Structure 1
Amino acid sequence: MVEVKLEGITKRFGDFEAVKDLNLTIKDGEFLVLLGPSGCGKTTTLRMISGLETPSEGKIYFGDRDVTYLPPKDRNISMVFQSYAVWPHMKVFDNIAFPLRVKKYPEDEIRRRVKWAAELLQIESLLDRYPGQLSGGQRQRVAVARAIVVEPDVLLMDEPLSNLDAKLRVAMRAEIKKLQTKLNVTTIYVTHDQVEAMTMGDRIAVMNKGRLLQVGPPTEVYLKPNSLFVATFIGAPEMNILSAAVTEREGLALEGDGFIVPLPGDFRELLLDHIGKDVLLGIRPEHMTVKGVSTLEHVTRTAEIEGTVDFIEALGTDTIVHAKVGENIIKIKLPGHIPLPVGEKIKIEIDLDNIHIFDRDTEKAII
């Protein structure tokens, strides 16, 4: 295992910059998730770490070793791809053994390592089968076993679960995370699925348009997003965003279409430069409730606005209330089954200690 360091990495394809001035350190033994939408540069970053692409600018280090221009075979890395990429004409044993045979390991060592990897992935009973006789989940386990059998310094995974059905994805998320913890191998995992990122990563690195926007533990990135993009990309249902003006009457408040949110006094210093200006107010659905129907537990500071029930998503364990506030539609996440009639006027309580305020022009977080 090694620490992986990216210093000033830029990758251009002609005039297009796929990755721009990326600085990132992945700690020894860490599970880091590169998260972002399609085209954000996360797979290109992974390919540069692997040696499949060469940076236009910058350096890549594995520990103290500069690997920027080394070919993949000299980096001691393994990759697991979105497609299983298992050889259909080889039995499972031979698929797993393939990278060891390329490196000319002795047969007894190959058998030992294949047995070890197969047991870890719980596929030891499948070693004599061909890939065509396996399910998608079993084929993905074979691909992971083949990746770890060489005991790599760095394990790279590019959306390895996206071809699996929803139930199997959940199971494989847990399996991969437990396996990585057991092996303590430095792992970089690419996904556009924020649920995968939140449940698997020791840290999440959020990317958009080739730039790294925020890096941190999942709860930190979720609760303290540093920009509008990060705030709305992570979370399901996503954060409600409302246009508002910072006003001052009997105290500081946020005023928007159909609502006024009075703010506690300690907000003044943070919003001093924005008084009289337009901002964006962000509230996660779980940080609101419908007064008289549910409560915000352990919340000490709240504000109240009015709305009208527009639509109800009954999910069994939760209810998502779509409420109209002025011309805005906001979502409120309530526990359990809450049968509110459409058209009913409601009072909405907001947890003031969990609101987010963004600069309208820069979209950077103010609070």
Structure 2
Amino acid sequence: MVEVKLDRITKRFGNFEAVKELTLDIKDGEFLVLLGPSGCGKTTTLRMIAGLETPTEGRIYFGDRDVTYLPPKDRNISMVFQSYAVWPHMKVYDNIAFPLKVKKYPENEIKERVKWAAELLQIEELLDRYPAQLSGGQRQRVAVARAIVVEPDVLLMDEPLSNLDAKLRVAMRAEIKKLQTKLKVTTIYVTHDQVEAMTMGDRIAVMNQGRLLQVGPPTEVYLKPNSLFVATFIGAPEMNIVDATVVENDGLFLEGDGFKILLPDDFREILESYIGKDVLFGVRPEHMTVKGVSTLEHVTRTAEIEGIVDFIEALGTDTIVHAKVGGNIIKIKLPGHIPLPVGEKIKIEIDLDNIHVFDRDTEKAII
């Protein structure tokens, strides 16, 4: 196990910059998730850490060792891919044992390590089967067992659950996280699935267009996004974003199409330079409620606006109310089954301690 340090790494393919001056420290034993949409540079970053790609600029360190130009075999890393990548002509035992045989481990140690890995992944009874006799989840367990059997310094995982069905993905998320916690191996996990990132990562590193936008614990990134992209990429349903203007009129207001919100006095210092300017106003669906139907528990500062029910998503455990406010459609997440008729006028309460304001030009967070 080691600390991994990326020092201003850039990767170009011709004139295209896939990764742009990325600096990131991954702590020893940490589970770090690289999160972002397709094409954001997360897999390219993982491949550079693995040694499958060489940075155009910058350095990569494992602890104090510069591994920038070392081949993968000299880095003591293991990878788990989106495809199961198990050899169909080998039994499960031989699939798991393969990297140990390549490194010429003694046969008795190979048996001990395979047994250890199989027990951890709960596939001891499958060791004599061929991959064709396994389910998708079992094959992925074999791939993970093969990755950990060599006790790598760094475990790299590239969307390993993408090919599994939804129910199995949930189960495997928990399995992988518990396994990593037990082994304490430095793990870098690539995904575009924000639910995976939120539930598995000790920290999340959000990327877009080759750039690292924000790094932090899941709750911090969720509650305090530093940009419009991070705010809208994480969260389901995603954050409501509407146009607004900061207005001074016997108090400080956020005013937009169909709403005018009086802000607490402590917002003034932050928004002073934006008075009279257009901004982007954001609030997550769960930080609002419909007055008289549900409450915002433990909330001390609220604002009230009016809307009209436009559409209802009844999800059983939750109800998503689509409400028309002026020309905007906003989503409100309520607990349980709330049968609100379409066309009904409602009063919407907003938790003012969980609102977000973004600069319209830079899309950086102001609040």
TM-score tier (shorter): over 0.9
Q: How far apart are residue 301 of structure 1 and its match? A: 0.5
1:113-139: CA deviation from partner (whole Å, max 9, x where unpaired):
000000000000000000000000000
Q: Which residue of 2 aligns with 1:159?
A: 159
Residue number in structure 1 paired with 2:109: 109
2-structure distance, mates of 1:53, 1:14: 14
1:235 alignment partner in structure 2: 235
Alignment partners' CA distance in 1, 2:69 and 2:25: 18
Paired residues for 1:262-273 under 5 Å:
262-273=262-273
| 2:353 paired with 1:353 | yes
Counterparts of 1:321-340 in structure 2, within 5 Å, are 321-340=321-340
The equivalent of 2:226 in structure 1 is: 226
Percent identical:
90
- Distance in 1, matches of 2:40 and 2:311, equals 33
Q: CA deviation at 1:363?
A: 0.2
In structure 1, what is the Cα distance between the partners aligned to 2:21 and 2:132? Answer: 43
For residues 323-353 of structure 1, what are the alpha-carbon distances to aligned partners after superposition, in whole Å with 9 as ceiling and x for unaligned?
0001100000000000000000000000000
Q: State the secondary structure of the residue aligned to 2:313.
A: strand
Structure 2 residue 174 is matched with structure 1 residue 179 = no
Partner of 1:99: 99
In the other structure, the counterpart of 1:286 is 286
What is the DSSP-based 3-state SS (H/G/I as helix, E as strand, rest coil) of the residue aligned with 1:96?
helix
How big is the shift at 1:94?
Answer: 0.2
Offset of residue 186 of structure 1: 0.1
Residue aligning to 1:296? 296
TM-score (norm 1): 1.00
Give, as a single letter, the amino acid of the residue that structure 1 aligns with 2:45: T
Mapping of residues 68-217 of structure 1, within 5 Å: 68-217=68-217
Deviation at 1:298, TM superposition (A): 0.5
**Aligned partner of residue 298 in structure 2, secondary structure:** coil
Unaligned runs of 5+ in 1: none
Distance 2:250 2:287 in 1: 25
Residue of structure 2 in register with 1:11 after alignment: 11
SS in structure 1 at match of 2:10: strand
* Paired residues, number: 367
The amino acid across from 2:121 in the alignment is L
AA matched with 1:250: D
1:7-43 CA distances to partner (integer Å, 9 max, x unpaired)? 0100000000000000000000000000000000000
1:247 shift after superposition:
0.3
Deviations 1:184-231 (Å, cap 9, x if unpaired)? Answer: 000000000000000000000000000000000000000000000000
User: Distance in 1 between the 2:93 and 2:197 partners?
Assistant: 31
Deviation per residue, 1:31-66 (Å, 9 max, x gap): 000000000000000000000000000000000000
Report the counterpart of residue 250 of structure 1 in structure 2: 250
CA distance in 2, matches of 1:109, 1:294: 60
User: Residue 158 of structure 1 aligns to which amino acid in structure 2?
Assistant: D
What is the SS of the residue equivalent to 1:29?
coil
Alignment-mate amino acid for residue 202 of structure 2: D
Return 5+ residue gaps in structure 2 as ranges: none
How far, CA to CA, are the matches of 2:8 and 2:224 in structure 1?
25
**Distance in 2 separating the partners of 1:91 and 1:45:** 33
Q: What CA distance in whole angstroms lies between the structure 2 residues aligned with 1:353 and 1:178?
A: 34
CA–CA distance in 2 between the matches of 1:188 and 1:176? 12
SS of equivalent residue, structure 2 residue 297? coil
Task: State the shift of 1:250 in Å.
Answer: 1.4
Residue 177 of structure 1 and its aligned partner are, at CA, apart by: 0.1
In the other structure, the counterpart of 2:364 is 364
Q: Secondary structure at the match of 1:6?
A: strand
Moved over 2 A (4+): none
- State the partner residue of 1:28: 28
- Normalised by the length of structure 2, the TM-score is 1.00
The letter of the residue matching 2:113 is R
Residue type at the aligned position of 1:129: R
Q: Distance in 2 between matches of 1:249 and 1:135?
A: 65
Return the letter of the residue paired with 2:17.
E
CA distance in 2, matches of 1:83, 1:294: 45
How many Å separate the matches in 1 of 2:95 and 2:266? 61
Provide the rounded CA distance (Å) in 1 between the counterparts of 2:323 and 2:168.
Answer: 34
Q: Report the Cα distance in structure 2 between the residues aligned to 1:58 and 1:289, rounded to whole angstroms.
A: 48
**Which residue of structure 2 aligns with residue 276 of structure 1?**
276
Amino acid at match of 1:347: K
Amino acid at match of 2:251: G
AA in 1 matched with 2:163: N
Matched to 1:42, the amino acid is: K
SS of the counterpart of 2:237? coil
